[in-house]
C-alpha cells in the first residue's frame, strides 16, 4: 500500500483521567474507565478510515491522561495503530503522563511501543500549590518518577504552572530549582488560565479564588526565564525551554504550520489552510464511529491571507522569529504587507528587533506577546 508522504505528524487524543482538575477545560471524561474498550474499538475504526498509511516524523499522545489506561492499555493503543501510523526509526514519539501512573511496568510499556519522550504533568512541587491546582499527585510522586525515568533512555519534559492563587515568587523559584535538579530535558511553563465553564471560573466569580495580579505574574515569568537560562535551558518559544537538542519536534511542526493528522474526540487536524475538529463529546465520538457515521465537528477554512497571518504569529512566538524570505516562500505574502506598521511600533517600543531580513520579539515582546497579536490577526 502507498504511504502518505505529505503528512508527517499525528496527534492521538486519549480522553481519560482520574478526575478533572479545577482549571481544566480539555476534552476528557473522569471516572469512566468503563469506556476504555469502546474507545479502543472506535479509535481503530477512525484509523482505518485513512486512505493510506502515514509515515511519521512525530507522534503525540495527549489527553486527558493517556497513561490512565495503564501499561496494557498503552500497548493496546499502539496495537490499534496497526499499519495506519508508522513512526520512522528516528521519529519523536511522545506520551503525556500523570506521575501517579508511571511505574516500572509503565516504562517497560513505553519502550515496547517505541515511545521515546514523556511529557510529565508536574505543575508544581509544592504541596500547597498542588492542592490549589486540584492535582491528585504529591511532590514525592514526581521525585520517585523522575528517578525511574533517569534510569531509562527516555527524554523527559515537565509541565509547570505559575501564577497560581496564593503562590509567591519564592515558591515559583523553588519549583524551578527542583525541576532543574531533577534533570528534566525540557520544561513547558504556563501561567494559570481561567476558562469559562471550569470549576476555577466559578470559584473566581464567587470570590473564593483570586487571580495573581498581573505585575506579579510577569515577575514570576521573568524569574522562570532567568533561572532556566542560567541552568542551560534555551527559551525557544514563549512557553517552552529545552536543553541543547531537546526541543519538541512535534510542537515545532504546529508552530511552523505543517500539516498534521489527528484522531480521537476533540482532536483537530490541519492541512495548511483547513482545521477540522472532531466532536468533543467522548460518548458521541464513540457512538458515531461504532455506527459508521462522520465524527467531524467544527471546520475552519482560512483564506490564504488568514493562513499567512496565523503563520506570522506562530513564527513570532518562537525565539528564532520570522525570516522575511522564508515567510514569503511558505505563504506567498510579504511580512510588511501584513504587519508593517505593528512591527515598526514594536521595534520603536523595544518589543521587537528587525534587521531587514528577520524579525524577532525581544524578551519584553515575548512577555507581552499575547497582547500584540490583535494587530496582526
For residue 62, the model assigns a pLDDT of 98
Among the candidates 255, 273, 293, a domain finishes at 255
Task: Assess whether 81 and 186 both reside in one domain.
Answer: yes
Contact 358, 323 (CB under 8 A): yes
Task: Tell me the mean pLDDT in the region 204-208.
Answer: 95
Task: Assess whether 172 and 232 both reside in one domain.
Answer: yes
356: CB partners within 8 A, 6+ apart: 324
Task: Tell me the mean pLDDT in the region 124-153.
Answer: 95
For residue 1, the model assigns a pLDDT of 45
* Terminal Cα-to-Cα distance of the chain (whole angstroms): 41
CATH of the domain at 19: 3.20.20.70
3-class state of residue 301 by DSSP:
strand
> Which residues lie across from 160 on neighbouring strands?
123, 189
285 part of a folded domain: no
For residue 282, the model assigns a pLDDT of 98
267 part of a folded domain: no
Give Cα separations from 214 to 66, 146, 170, 190, 210 (angstroms).
Answer: 33, 32, 17, 14, 12
Task: Tell me the mean pLDDT in the region 121-145.
Answer: 96
Task: Assess whether 180 and 329 both reside in one domain.
Answer: no
Task: Assess whether 16 and 144 both reside in one domain.
Answer: yes
- How many domains does the structure of the chain reveal? 2
271 part of a folded domain: no
CATH of the domain at 351: 1.10.10.920
Task: Assess whether 249 and 314 both reside in one domain.
Answer: no
4 part of a folded domain: no
Task: Assess whether 52 and 166 both reside in one domain.
Answer: yes
Among the candidates 255, 270, 295, a domain finishes at 255
Task: Assess whether 251 and 314 both reside in one domain.
Answer: no
Among the candidates 196, 227, 255, a domain finishes at 255
Q: What is the mean pLDDT of the chain?
A: 96
Task: Tell me the mean pLDDT in the region 135-156.
Answer: 95
Task: Assess whether 239 and 308 both reside in one domain.
Answer: no
247: CB partners within 8 A, 6+ apart: 186, 234, 236, 240
Task: Assess whether 73 and 154 both reside in one domain.
Answer: yes
Task: Assess whether 225 and 310 both reside in one domain.
Answer: no
Contact 203, 174 (CB under 8 A): no
Task: Tell me the mean pLDDT in the region 155-169.
Answer: 97
115 part of a folded domain: yes
Domain containing 20 equals: 9-255
289 part of a folded domain: no
3 part of a folded domain: no
- Are β-strands 155-162 and 117-123 bridged in parallel, bridged antiparallel, or unpaired? parallel
For residue 40, the model assigns a pLDDT of 98
- Are β-strands 322-323 and 352-354 bridged in parallel, bridged antiparallel, or unpaired? unpaired
pLDDT tens per residue, range 57-69: 999 999 999 999 9
Distance CA 1, CA 13 (A): 26
174 part of a folded domain: yes
Nearest Cα residue to 96 out of 74, 127, 125:
74
Task: Tell me the mean pLDDT in the region 7-11.
Answer: 97
pLDDT tens per residue, range 251-291: 999 999 999 999 999 999 999 999 999 999 999 999 999 99
Amino acid at each position: 500500500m502507498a504511504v502518505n508522504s505529505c503528512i508527517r505528524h499525528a496527534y492521538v487524543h486519549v480522553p481519560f483521567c482520574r478526575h478533572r482538575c479545577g482549571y481544566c477545560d480539555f476534552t476528557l471524561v473522569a471516572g469512566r474507565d468503563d469506556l476504555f474498550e469502546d474507545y479502543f474499538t472506535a479509535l481503530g475504526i477512525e484509523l482505518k478510515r485513512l486512505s493510506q498509511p502515514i509515515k511519521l516524523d512525530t507522534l503525540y499522545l495527549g489527553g486527558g491522561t493517556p497513561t490512565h489506561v495503564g501499561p496494557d492499555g498503552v500497548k493496546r493503543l499502539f496495537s490499534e495503530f496497526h499499519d495506519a501510523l508508522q513512526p520512522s526509526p528516528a521519529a519523536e514519539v511522545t506520551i503525556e503522563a500523570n506521575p501517579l501512573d508511571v511505574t516500572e511496568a509503565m516504562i517497560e510499556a513505553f519502550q515496547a511501543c517505541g515511545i521515546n519522550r514523556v511529557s510529565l504533568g508536574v505543575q508544581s512541587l509544592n504541596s500547597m500549590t498542588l492542592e490549589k491546582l486540584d492535582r491528585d499527585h504529591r511532590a514525592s510522586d514526581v521525585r520517585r518518577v523522575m528517578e525511574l525515568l533517569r534510569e531509562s533512555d527516555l527524554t523527559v519534559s515537565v509541565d509547570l504552572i505559575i501564577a497560581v492563587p496564593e503562590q509567591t515568587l519564592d515558591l515559583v523559584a523553588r519549583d524551578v530549582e527542583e525541576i532543574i535538579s531533577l534533570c528534566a530535558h525540557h520544561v513547558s511553563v504556563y501561567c494559570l488560565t481561567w476558562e469559562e465553564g471550569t470549576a476555577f471560573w466559578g470559584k473566581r466569580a464567587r470570590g473564593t479564588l483570586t487571580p495573581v495580579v498581573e505585575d506579579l505574574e510577569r515577575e514570576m515569568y521573568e524569574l522562570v526565564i532567568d533561572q532556566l537560562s542560567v541552568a542551560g535551558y534555551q527559551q525557544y518559544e514563549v512557553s517552552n525551554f529545552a536543553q541543547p537538542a531537546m526541543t519538541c519536534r512535534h510542537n515545532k511542526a504546529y508552530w511552523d504550520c505543517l500539516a498534521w493528522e489527528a484522531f480521537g474526540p476533540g482532536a483537530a487536524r490541519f492541512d495548511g489552510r483547513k482545521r477540522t475538529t472532531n466532536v468533543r463529546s467522548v460518548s458521541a465520538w464513540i457512538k458515531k464511529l461504532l455506527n459508521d457515521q462522520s465524527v467531524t465537528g467544527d471546520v475552519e477554512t482560512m483564506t490564504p491571507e488568514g493562513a499567512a497571518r496565523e503563520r506570522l504569529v506562530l513564527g513570532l512566538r518562537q525565539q528564532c522569529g520570522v525570516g522575511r524570505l522564508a515567510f514569503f516562500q511558505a505563504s506567498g505574502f510579504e511580512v510588511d504587507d501584513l504587519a508593517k506598521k505593528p512591527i515598526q511600533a514594536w521595534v520603536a517600543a523595544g518589543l521587537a528587533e528587525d534587521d531587514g531580513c528577520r524579525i524577532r520579539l525581544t524578551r519584553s515582546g515575548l512577555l507581552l506577546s499575547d497582547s500584540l497579536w490583535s494587530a496582526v490577526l
